[in-house]
Structure 1
Amino acid sequence: MTIQTDVAIIGGGATGAGIARDLALRGVDVSLFERGGLGGGTSGRSHGLLHSGGRYAESDPIGAEECIRESRILRDIAEGCIRETGGLFVQLESDDPAYFEEKLEACNELDIPTETISAEEAHERVPGLTEDVERAFTVPDGVIYPSRLVVANAADAREHGASIYTHTPVESVTTANGEITELHVGGEINDTVEATQIVNATGAWAEVMGEDLGVDVSMQPTRGVMISVEYDGLDPVLNRCRDPDDGDIIVPHDGEVVLGTTSVAVEDPDDYEEADWEVERSVDECAELIPDITDAPEVRTWWGVRPLYEPDEDERDDGRGISRGFFVINHAERNEPANLISVVGGKLTTYRQMAEAASDQICARLGVDASCETDERPLHASDDPAQLDALIDEFDAVNPTDRDIVTTATPAESAAD
């Protein structure tokens, strides 16, 4: 039997689930289709950093401003998905002091709270920190558990009438009269979907899915490695205060730290090399911050692919210069299918704002006069980690980033996922 819905969302990461929740709260009939378990793409394969915006303050102030605003909102609405840690930007003897000053000034201009501390105080806060520290400043970074975040959004959407389908890949598309008239979905439903509006929220796969939908979405996905090692006692997120490079972030988990990351352009987000040099370089570089990491036992290693949007071919290098801001593409404005939008770019931290922007456009096109409520309403079970972990099992959303945290997680693996 054909599934009929006002809005069909393709992609069940944080952004897709966030759009489903936003629209459902506005009374829109919405169905979400994910080819695997929820969060199995970029969302569940990150280092789990809740960005303060400090990392992008001087290079991408718009993206940084989005991060600090959204991180504050997430602390209010997603308590069980967040761990408060704080963060440090650390200048070593070999790092440019002018860069430290530039980043600190940029943070202050964007109202990202900071406090400059001496090398001695940095050692008090992080006992294992290298002796090569010159100084540091604090930022309100944190840790986010993406598996919990994604399922909290999906469950909230479902509570308000949305339909959430996992293991349902879109296999083909029918178009007529300048619109997409049918999605042919396989997997666990193997059915046809008719929707008034279609949303391509497939992240790093937006270009691949766009080809199936008959549109051009120019992505430059880049891969990055994360290595989780045994290490106890690190409280804040550590950021190396230098131009972004390989191995300059250390994210604390319980009894582990996640080291990362690299940035290497990939052609196919499903098929790319997982190179040993990336692991070795990330460990070596992070060990310049905490030397004991060199000998720390490796728990598990995984790669993720960033959903970077870059239509300018000249900018497609390693992706580090591409904005981490997000874009909502209205394909009707390009004389492409009039009932399709694509949501690309952004960060896990800014997923809710991405969902709001997309939902605003969708509601305008549907004639729905309802405003966004997701910045004020707590997520489903947001104060109950045990319930969130049960939902992770239900939605098949156990992913590498927080596999050591969620109670439904399978035993950690030492091999690359």
Structure 2
Amino acid sequence: MERTEVLVIGGGATGAGIARDLARRGVDVTLVERDGLASGTSGRSHGLLHSGARYAEADGPEAQACLEENRIVRRIAGECVRDTGGLFVELAADDPAYFEAKRAACENVGIPTDVVDGAAAREAVPGLATDVERAMEVPDGVVVPSRLVAANAADARDHGARIRPHTPVTSMTTEDGRIRSVTLGGDADATLSPEYVVNATGPHAGRVAAMAGAAVEMRPTRGVMVSVEYPGLEPVLNRCREPADGDIVVPHDGEVVLGTTSVAVDDPDDYERADWEITATVRECAAMLPPVADADHVRTWWGVRPLYEPDEATRGGRGISRGFHLLDHAEAGVENCCSIVGGKLTTYRRMAEATADLVCERLEVDADCSTGDERLPAASDPDRLDEFVREFDGQGPTDADLVGS
């Protein structure tokens, strides 16, 4: 039986971030992922680096967290991020009071904004709809998630962690309120004896927690992304209205990603992929940027959000917030296990830090987090970053046009 201090289950941004954080603190870590890294939610997103503006009026603290992490990720991640800027656009059909509320909320949070009229917005963004009344500039950006996840994993490995893609967890054995062993399949075919287990499996967190005898209530929702040929767009475009289908356009180099929908699913592995979602997303995004309606489709994919059921029920559903929740299962009788759920790609590092703090407290490790200060390996070298992606089989659909280009 192999031994490890901490087993991190889940190779998305949060799991890789946790492995990096713990390894840098001198903890012996093993990270396992059932597929290649970034194969789940992280690598199937639209890739927005939030400024916090999307949540400013609904959840000021979460918007502040987004703004802070936006700045940290830009500082540490180099070529894992594209500095595009963002625009919240108000169309003639949109409620101007909502625009004003968002602008005021951004000011309260400290998110830099600049409001321009429709003519100035159309001059800055050729192809923008003629009925754009005004727009608000915010410091949004674009994440290249395959690179970001792989770079975190590479840094964890460089500090002693073992990174095992294609290694699903098949079972756990518990005794006297502790996980004693975890059986791994796939490329590993081994059994681990961990001192502590971190469940960072996103929408699968409920299933994995149940293996340990813990309960995590999830409410996963699917969302479609449609990538179309459209070179030259610079800022992220956000529709300035209550969150709804087709309210974001994310620029890449020769393409833009149109998103998204929100439909509840029972099984994050087996769910309908409905044509109406594609049609609705393209139609609504074309209200902001009409030429995308006739642009050639390059690829379409769905992602599943790892939403936490109690939070969604309390807050009232879509778009209200995307805060994270760190669940210590000691309270439910499993002393050496926690789950990290919810959140968003932008705040992955903060989620990892909170989780690593808890783990170190449980293991009596006295070491501080350094992930916000130290740049990711090869952050300025896109070719090397792409080598990390290949090493960990970490290519997701979100950035398939950017990685290796």
- Asked whether the two chains share a fold, i.e. TM above 0.5, the reply is yes
Matched-pair identity in %: 62
- The Cα of 1:151 is off from its aligned counterpart by 0.4
CA distance in 2, matches of 1:132, 1:118: 11
From 333, 338, 343, give the equivalent of 2:335: 338
Q: CA offset at residue 84 of structure 1?
A: 0.5
CA distance in 2, matches of 1:238, 1:213: 43
Q: Which residue of 2 aligns with 1:172?
A: 171
Partner of 1:136: 135
> Does 1:375 find its partner at 2:372?
yes
Contact kept, 8 Å, 1:52 with 1:112, in 2: the verdict is yes
Question: What displacement does 1:270 show?
Answer: 0.4
**TM-score using structure 1 length:** 0.95
For 1:13-92, list aligned pairs within 5 A: 13-92=12-91
Note if contact 1:62-1:325 (Cα within 8 Å) is conserved in structure 2. no
CA positional deviation for 1:312: 6.2
Using the alignment, how far apart are the partners of 1:82 and 1:192 within structure 2?
Answer: 37
List, as ranges, runs of 4+ consecutive aligned residues in structure 1 with deviation greater than 3 Å. 312-317
Give 1:256's aligned amino acid: E
Give the conservation status (yes or no) of the 8 Å contact 2:55–2:319: no
Q: Please give the alpha-carbon distance, in whole angstroms, between the structure 2 residues aligned to 1:299 and 1:245.
A: 23
Counterpart for residue 120 of structure 2:
121
**Which residue is 1:323 aligned to?**
321
- The within-5 A match list for 1:186-265 is 186-265=185-264
Q: CA deviation at 1:211?
A: 1.6
Matched, 1:282 2:281: yes
Please give the alpha-carbon distance, in whole angstroms, between the structure 2 residues aligned to 1:293 and 1:215: 46
Cα distance in 1 between the residues matched to 2:44 and 2:261: 13
Distance 1:141 1:367 in 2: 38
Q: For 1:217 and 1:270, how far apart are their aligned partners in 2?
A: 17
Structure 2 distance, partners of 1:125, 1:165, is: 45
Aligned equivalents of 2:125, 2:313: Cα separation in 1:
41
Q: In the TM superposition, what is the alpha-carbon distance from 1:209 to its structure 2 partner?
A: 1.2
Give the conservation status (yes or no) of the 8 Å contact 2:72–2:372.
Answer: yes
Residue equivalent to 1:390: 387
Cα drift, residue 333 of structure 1? 1.8
Alignment equivalent of 1:350, drawn from 338, 347, 350: 347
Return 5+ residue gaps in structure 1 as ranges: 409-417
Q: Cα deviations across residues 169-193 of structure 1 (Å, max 9, x unaligned)?
A: 0001101011000000011110100
After superposing the two structures, state which structure 1 stretch, 243-252 or 118-127, moved more: 118-127
The Cα of 1:323 is off from its aligned counterpart by 3.0
Counterpart-to-counterpart distance in 2, 1:307 and 1:138: 29
Give deviations 1:349-374, integer Å, cap 9, x for gaps: 00000000000010011111100000
1:99-123 superposed Cα distances (whole Å, 9 cap, x missing partner): 0000000011110100011111101
After superposition, the CA RMSD in angstroms is: 1.2
Deviations 1:29-57 (A, max 9, x none): 01001000001000000001111011111
Deviation, structure 1 residue 213 = 2.0
TM-aligned CA deviation for residue 394 of structure 1: 1.0
SS across alignment from 1:402: coil
CA distance in 2, matches of 1:387, 1:109: 40
Change over 3 Å in CA distance of 1:249–1:315 after alignment to 2: same
Any idea what the Cα deviations from partners look like across 1:286-321, whole Å, max 9, x if unmatched? Answer: 00001111110000000000111122685598x405
Read off the aligned partner of 2:343 and give its amino acid letter. Answer: G
Report deviation, 1:59.
1.2
CA distance in 2, matches of 1:91, 1:61: 21
Unaligned runs of 5+ residues in structure 2 are none
Question: Residue 337 of structure 1: SS of its match in structure 2?
Answer: coil
Question: For residues 235 and 315 of structure 1, do their structure 2 counterparts lie closer, same or farther at Cα, with a shift above 3 Å needed?
Answer: same
- Alignment correspondent of 1:296: 295
Q: Conserved in 2, the CA contact under 8 Å of 1:310 and 1:322?
A: no
